[in-house]
Amino acid sequence: MAAHLSFRTTAVVVLAYAVAMAYLESAVVVYLQLALGGQVGAIFPLRPAIETGDLVAIEVGREAATLVMIAAVGMLAGRTWVERLAWSAVVFGAWDIGYYAWLNVFSGWPPSLGTTDLLFLIPVPWVGPVWSPVVVSLALVGVGLAAAGTLRSGRRLALSRRHWVAGLAGGILVVLSWTIDAGRLIGGGLPGWYTWPLFAAGMLLALAAAADALRGARGQAVPAVFAPD
């Protein structure tokens, strides 16, 4: 794909895929909830694995399959490993935002961005208000497109070890804000107060690293590799 499509065309194709993927997943969630006699959004307290049988393993497998699908599109859209990572971030972010948007269209859930959701199950339950993954996803789409656009213009990102360390540290803080209550949730408890200061610190750290890397690429003059359509 990346060998003959311009940045703009690639972005449209990647975003279209993510929106379609989000539609499919949200529709499946609605179907399954209704088929199992449940209600969309009725998540807590978490049902024990012994009660749900193999459904927990299937759900974990579904999440893993989703990550493979996202990575596959990134691999096809990018030519270098950094650009592939950027496009994967775009797909992930657009898919996640689209998922909540379609789910709301289909079922009216979540009723607000402050609604608590079960975000992920690997390796432990991730829980947080809907606005938190949406904020992360907006950042992934924005930074991903900016990075991919920079690379498609023939410039190089000024990535150093400190950028990677800061980005990874920020990501760990964000994930920690979602998993800090994992033990209580596994034991059948309800989510507690969301540690948004931890989330905010992680986002600021990661975004500062991304902005610094992108800013460092502006002044470079490397011949463009990709021609427009």
Q: Using one digit for the tens of pLDDT, what is the confidence trace for 25-58?
A: 999 888 877 776 666 666 666 665 434 455 677 7
The pLDDT score that the predictor gives to residue 56 is 73
Residue at 56 is within a domain: yes
Q: Which residue has the higher pLDDT, 46 or 219?
A: 46
**Cα–Cα distance for residue pair 175/82, rounded to 1 Å:** 22
Residue at 228 is within a domain: no
The pLDDT score that the predictor gives to residue 218 is 56
Residue at 207 is within a domain: yes
The pLDDT score that the predictor gives to residue 188 is 80
* Domain, as residue range, for 62: 7-217
**Cα–Cα distance for residue pair 227/225, rounded to 1 Å:** 7
Examine the pLDDT at 227 and tell me if it is beyond 60. Answer: no
Backbone CA torsion sign across 214, 216, 221, 222: negative
Residue at 2 is within a domain: no
Q: Domain total for the chain?
A: 1
Supply the pTM of this predicted model: 0.86
Residue at 225 is within a domain: no
Residue at 222 is within a domain: no
Residue at 224 is within a domain: no
Q: Which residue has the higher pLDDT, 194 or 41?
A: 194
Is residue 154 within 8 A of residue 225, CB to CB? The reply is yes
Examine the pLDDT at 221 and tell me if it is beyond 50. Answer: no
Q: Using one digit for the tens of pLDDT, what is the confidence trace for 131-172?
A: 999 999 999 999 999 999 999 988 888 889 999 999 999 999
Residue at 223 is within a domain: no
The pLDDT score that the predictor gives to residue 158 is 81
